Amino acid sequence: MEKSNLLYLSLLSFVLISTSAISISSQTDYFKIDTQKVLKEVNAKFLGKKYSDLPVLKDGATFPIISAQSAVAIDLVSGVSLYEKDPNKKLLPASTTKIMTALVALDTYDLDQILKVGKINVVGQKMGLVWGEEIKFIDLLKGLLIFSANDAAEVLALNHPAGRDVFIGLMNKKAQDLGLKDTHFENPTGLDGNGGQYSTTRDLVILSKQAIKNPFFKEIVAIKNETVKSVDGKYIHRLININKLLGEVDGVYGVKTGWTENARENLVSYLERDNRKIMIAVLGSSDRFGETKELIKWIFDNYSWEEVKIPN
């Protein structure tokens, strides 16, 4: 049998855990595969193509068990899911919401546009914006994404020409446009809201994949620390990235942390290593950094990337 066919059979047996044909128990390492359904879905996606660098799970690999209520890891080049645990479960996104806040703000403002801080009343993480302060949009964006500042999120929403409610409406419109069927926002900060603030790990990976296409977003979420100032230099804001994986785990370049008491620990991570591009999201974790590190290690210990030609 040709090597490509052997790899194809390996693909059917071990790789496509992203399909609905496969289910992984959160309590065990057991997984099952409906081969005919996987075959149909693989052929629909790759028929007639010579697909390079397709991830193949090694024989005998066991899936890690983590505390997160939901998790997913996606190979961004092929779209293959490398790991899943309840990826469509609706959960509180906390400050991973700010990924969408940033995208709508980037659609709305020019980088050097000056915004004015109005009367804001918000709890949680703040960069210390002062009423009447004038600050460039790019610096607010840094406060939003590096320091996860709730006051920055509110200033961005309140300065929208049509107002805060329209800004939030645009967040939900973009979610619809991106096909995020299990995501909805009530505010730009990620605070828990009144039941209408939710997302899934799968949706957050799709959203983050879109976000890193913007070079400014991609650059900012990889910054460990930064100092920004008001336009007149009177107010200085020192920003330290909450993401402990930056500079600690090879290849991690952001994307966004999140935490509230009810949401627990959330993290979306973008990884570039060995010519691979991987996005990982965990929601409702008791150790977002440790479990993301565990998933990264497991992926590179247990997957190889092969060139596969899907047979007719």
The token duo for 224 is 């460990």
What angle separates helix 98-108 from helix 201-211, to the nearest 10 degrees?
30
Q: Give residue 81's pLDDT.
A: 95
pLDDT at position 1, please?
A: 44
Active site residue 95: yes
Residue in the block written with tokens 């900012």: 220
Given 10, 70, 78, 98, the catalytic residue = 98
Give Cα 274 to chain centroid, integer Å.
Answer: 20
DSSP string, 179-243: T-TT-B-S-SS---TTS--BB-HHHHHHHHHHHTTSHHHHHHTT-SEEEEE-TTS--EEEEE---
Catalytic residue among 10, 70, 78, 95: 95
Task: Give me 14's structure tokens.
Answer: 């071990």
Q: Which of 18, 78, 81, 148 is catalytic?
A: 148
Task: State residue 275 phi and psi, 5-degree precision.
Answer: 65, 15
Catalytic site includes residue 148: yes
Tens-level pLDDT at each residue, the chain (312 residues): 444 444 554 454 444 444 433 334 333 333 334 444 444 455 555 555 555 678 999 999 999 999 999 999 999 999 999 999 999 999 999 999 999 999 999 999 999 999 999 999 899 999 999 999 999 999 999 999 999 999 999 999 999 999 999 999 999 999 999 999 999 999 999 999 889 999 999 999 999 999 999 999 999 999 999 999 999 999 999 999 999 999 999 999 999 999 999 999 999 999 999 999 999 999 999 999 999 999 999 999 999 998 766 555
Is 13 noted as a catalytic residue in this protein?
no
Q: Which is nearest to 279 in space by CA: 182, 213, 194, 188?
A: 213
Res 15: pLDDT:
44
What gap in Å lies between CA 278 and CA 144, rounded to an integer? Answer: 23
Q: Quote the pLDDT of residue 138.
A: 98
CA proximity to 164, closest of 118, 124, 198, 131: 118
In this prediction, residue 48 carries a pLDDT of: 53
> Which pTM value belongs to this model?
0.85
Chain Cα centroid distance, residue 41: 25
pLDDT at residue 125, as a whole number: 95
